[in-house]
Structure 1
Amino acid sequence: MITVDEALTRILSTFDALPAETLAVNQTLGRVLASDVIARVTQPPAAVSAMDGYAVRAEDVATVPARLQVVGHLPAGGRYDSALGCGQAVRIFTGAPLPDGADTIVIQEDTERDGESVTVKEAAAAGTYIRPAGLDFRAGDVGVSAGRVVTVRDLGLIAAMNRPWVSVHRRPRVAVLATGDEVVMPGDPIGPSQIVSSNGLALCGLVEACGGEAINLGIAADSADSLRRLSAGAAGADLLVTTGGASVGEHDLIRSVLGEEGLELDFWKIAMRPGKPLMFGNLRGTPMLGLPGNPVSSLVCGLLFVRPILDRLQGLERPAHPTETAVLAEDLGANDRRQDYLRATLEAGKDGRLLARPFPKQDSSMLATLARADALIVRAPHAPPLPAGQLVDLLRFPGSLRSI
């Protein structure tokens, strides 16, 4: 058996970022930028008013009250073609360009209008309520850098920079194949020795949440013909993920059947719990990751290995397993030779520190505890007993893989 770190290193060394494609900006939410997005315009393009009020010369309102002649009306998008003279003011609205000669804005609350004149009751120094040209960004500035997941905020910025088209990495195509006579799809008739399949649907959901495009190949029966036929659907995918059939039983056919179909196996078995029977190889040019059949093992391995693969394919640089620390709420016994990932809930302690409370039962078939868990406590191989109150490393389940 190899370690989790070695397995991840060997897996990721197989993958590179996928080629770029050009999309309309409104189609890029959640996609990873393949190149920097550079502003084509300056924003604002000229000095503009930040408030509704009057554009004036600061020297004319240094002493108040000051009575000025209103010589123009300037809405956003408008223009005043003359230069502002001594004792003059232009009615101006937020976003409108500053008239030549004006150097400050008096807000309307500090004025009193009387026909074609206005009385300024509060002085305003030069530059007050003015947004200078280029305050936000200038043409040629890098607005959003390559390698970033496009957020809602980024969409607004990219549009403002006048970039209607954006270069992003292609979405990885991941084929997902569940196996086993004992599983059926939700809603199908359930035989006396069968259970409802959850792995395939959950892994497809993980792929989509991580920015990939899931191809659900269905469930292969425990027969060579069925496995060969359905696995052929992975042709052209960037990754094939199987679940089940990777252990050592007589009906675990992945290694034997796909081996006959050209599977070149890199490794099989990882020193981890849950997820020991995990394999990685290449099937006729398609990288293949064989996950265990137990539901918790399948999803934990998906988080630990499928997500980093998808990050690599999309050119996304972030830690594969970002851990943090918390205070252990209950005693833990000694660990064996496998790296352990314990489902746990998180809560605030009386002293404000984060508490991690492991579930008392960690059976890899128990999806309900996985759904209720907030994080996985990570325990190194041969870790000694650990009393409550000590710090532990944990890996949070991401609440959202794509942010606003």
Structure 2
Amino acid sequence: MVPDAILQEDGPLRPNLVTVAHAQYRVRAGALSVVTETVALTKALGRVLAQDVTATRDQPPFKASAMDGYAVRSQDLARRVNPATLKLVGESQAGRAFTGRVSRGQAVRIFTGAAVPAGCDAVVVQENTLAGEGTVTILSDGLKLTRRHVRPTGQDFNCGDVLLKSGERLDPWRLSLVAAAGLDRVTVARRPVIAVLSTGDELVAPGEIPSGDQIFESASHAVMALIKQWGGKPVSLGVGKDTKKSLLRALKTADAELIVTIGGASVGDHDLVKPALAKLGLELSFDGIKVRPGKPTAFGNLKDGRRVLSLPGNPASAFVMAQVLLKAWLETSLGMPPRQDYAHATTTAAIGANGPREAFLRGTCSLSSDGRMQVTPFADQDSSLITVFSRTDALIHLPSGSEAKSPGDLVDILPLDRL
């Protein structure tokens, strides 16, 4: 069970905190305008289309056989009860079509994908035939003709059809469709450059030797990987120390359209990210969200036009806000339409009543014995736990003030983009 204590507010809400939906709205409003570029199809995996893909020909561009067998005129087999014997006049292979016309009493040997000869309107599968010397006999089962073995011209798509729309991400299957349309290049949205800065004297890079009170910096590796997975171009600014001078130096030189900071964004004596950003003309769009985890999240613009998303330092808080806000900013900057990603599942464990902040609990999904989606929340939702997030494949969304949930109750879930 996830107890009430984990989900209750740990202090009074600041009046200027925004809701998750309001934060998403402001983040999308602060996204970039789409800049386009043309790339080779071989380099387009994961890119987002900035122009519709339109078919320039029918697919297939001819009537094609769906089976190996014999192309025939159905009228030659109509009204016959006994096996019919037809004269073979040629062969049609994929890429090597029979160029003549089939007349009464004739047939053509044909293979899957080959063009159906002029005059034919059906294909008899070879299992229902007997080949002779220059002839083919259609057995009784082959007389029960349908045209299901002939693929009509344009069965897949027709010339002028919009096959893919601007804003769609090119996955392997969509790449195949682009190739089927005959295109070797596509117009896509340029990938936004996003710089990531982790902060804190307690952090050292993996591979370095930490002192007794230091830990390895890990959150930026997930955030940068997510940026790449979601279509951006991540740049590491390393680990900034807890001095305004160190932070200002790293932030000032960041050559990026969005700067993502991790940690140092709360109100403690050593939370110096916002004071450093203030030196660069930070204008906040919001400064705090009514959410657990992730309350000390902020978003705004610098004087030079760069955007800033400040994430909390605890890994779970940073990862949740990246999923909810960073992904929304990236998708909008790439021209993708806003999406409602919540799905529904039944919880397998009790969940305590929620406090005045929205909550995102980490959980794992599975199928019940009757095939329904179910989710199991982790009992320990401490925002510092990385092992929990490594096994999480969905976030359970609890609205502000929601009632306790019993096993079997329906909850909203936000599936994660696990590879």
3-state SS of the aligned residue for 2:206?
coil
Q: Which moved more, 1:102-111 or 1:278-287?
A: 102-111
The correspondence for 1:96, drawn from 93, 110, 114, is 114
What letter matches 1:30 in structure 2?
Answer: G
TM-score by length of 2: 0.88
| Cα 1:115–1:139 shift into 2, 3 Å | same
From 67, 84, 88, the counterpart of 1:51: 67
Tell me if structure 2 keeps the 8 A contact 1:104–1:124: no
Which AA in structure 2 matches 1:34?
A: A
The residue aligned with 1:276 is: 295
C-alpha distance after superposition, 1:1-59 (max 9, x if no partner): 22222222222111144222111222222221112111111112121222222222223
Residues 227-253 of structure 1: per-residue CA shift (max 9 Å, x gap): 122213423x22110001111222211
**Does the CA-based 8 Å contact 1:31-1:211 persist in structure 2?**
yes
Would you say 1:215 and 2:235 are equivalent positions?
yes
Q: In 1, are the aligned partners of 2:244 and 2:273 still within 8 Å (CA)? A: no
Query: What does the per-residue CA deviation read over 1:306-359, in whole Å, with 9 as the maximum and x for residues that have no partner?
Result: 111111111112425524242362241x43332222223345556665444433
Q: How does 1:6-85 map to 2 (within 5 A)?
A: 6-62=22-78, 63=80, 64-85=82-103
Q: Which residue in the other structure is 1:136 paired with? A: 156
Q: Does 1:256 align with 2:275?
A: yes
Within 2, Cα distance between the matches of 1:343 and 1:267? 25
Mapped pair 1:228 → 2:244: no
In structure 1, what is the Cα distance between the partners aligned to 2:337 and 2:188? 14
Q: Which residue of 1 aligns with 2:13?
A: none
Equivalent residue number for residue 190 of structure 2: 170
Secondary structure in structure 1 of the residue aligned to 2:143: coil
- 2:116 is matched by which residue type in structure 1? L
Change (3 A) 1:217 1:299: same
Q: 1:94 to 1:328 in 2, by over 3 A?
A: closer
Distance 2:207 2:368 in 1: 43
Moved more, 217-226 or 335-344: 335-344
Given that residues 45 and 175 in structure 2 are in contact (C-alpha distance below 8 angstroms), is that contact kept between their aligned partners in structure 1? yes
Partner of 2:418: 399
Cα distance, 1:164 vs structure 2:
1.7
Alpha-carbon shift at residue 79 of structure 1 (Å)? 2.9
* Counterparts of 1:335 and 1:117, CA distance in 2: 79
SS at match of 1:234: coil
- Greater CA deviation, 311-320 or 184-193? 311-320
Q: Secondary structure at the match of 2:153?
A: coil
Relative to 1, partners in 2 of residues 1:72 and 1:155: Cα closer, same or farther, differing over 3 Å? Answer: same
| Shift of residue 386, structure 1, vs aligned partner | 4.5
* Residue range with higher mean Cα deviation, 298-307 or 361-370: 361-370
Q: What pairs with 1:110-121 in structure 2 (closer than 5 Å)? A: 110-121=128-139
Kindly indicate whether the alpha-carbon contact (under 8 Å) linking 2:345 and 2:374 is maintained by their aligned counterparts in 1: no
Q: Secondary structure at the match of 1:119?
A: strand
| Runs of at least 5 residues in structure 1 that lack an aligned partner in the other structure | none
Q: CA deviation at 1:166?
A: 1.2
Q: CA deviation at 1:188?
A: 0.7
* 8 Å contact from structure 2 (residues 124, 145) kept in 1: no
Q: Is the 8 A contact 1:304 1:321 kept in 2?
A: no
Cα pair distance change 1:65/1:267, threshold 3 Å: closer
SS of equivalent residue, structure 1 residue 242:
strand
**d(CA) in 2 for partners of 1:83, 1:259:** 80
Q: Tell me whether 216-225 or 338-347 shows the greater mean CA deviation.
A: 338-347
Contact 1:339 1:379 in 2 (8 A): yes
Q: What SS is found at the alignment partner of 1:302?
A: helix
Match of 2:309 in 1: 289
Aligned residue type for 1:194: Q
User: What one-letter code is carried by the residue in structure 2 that aligns with 1:119?
Assistant: T
Match of 2:265 in 1: 246
2:385 is equivalent to residue 366 of structure 1 = yes
The answer on whether the counterparts of 1:18 and 1:172 sit within 8 Å (CA) in structure 2 is no
Partner Cα distance (1:350, 1:98) in 2: 48
Contact preservation (8 Å) 1:327, 1:354 = no
**Identical aligned pairs, as a percentage?**
41
Structure 1 stretches of 4+ with a deviation exceeding 6 A read none
Q: Does 1:127 align with 2:172?
A: no
Aligned residues: 398
1:265 equivalenced with 2:288 (yes/no): no
Distance 1:325 1:101, change over 3 A: closer
Equivalent residue for 2:219? 199
TM (norm. structure 1) is 0.91
1:188 to 193, 208, 216: 208
CA distance in 2: counterparts of 1:389 and 1:56, whole angstroms: 59
Distance apart, 1:203 and its partner CA:
0.6
Of stretches 84-93 and 191-200 in structure 1, the one that deviates more from structure 2 is: 84-93
- Quote the RMSD (CA, aligned, Å): 2.2
1:343 aligns with 2:359: no
**SS, match of residue 271 in structure 2:** coil
Higher relative contact order (CA 8 A, sep 6+): 2
Any conservation in 1 of the 2:199–2:242 contact (CA below 8 Å)? yes
Q: Which moved more, 1:294-303 or 1:4-13?
A: 4-13
Deviation at 1:388, TM superposition (A): 4.7
The 1:129–1:267 alpha-carbon spacing in structure 2 relative to 1, beyond 3 Å, is closer
Deviation, 1:281, is 1.3
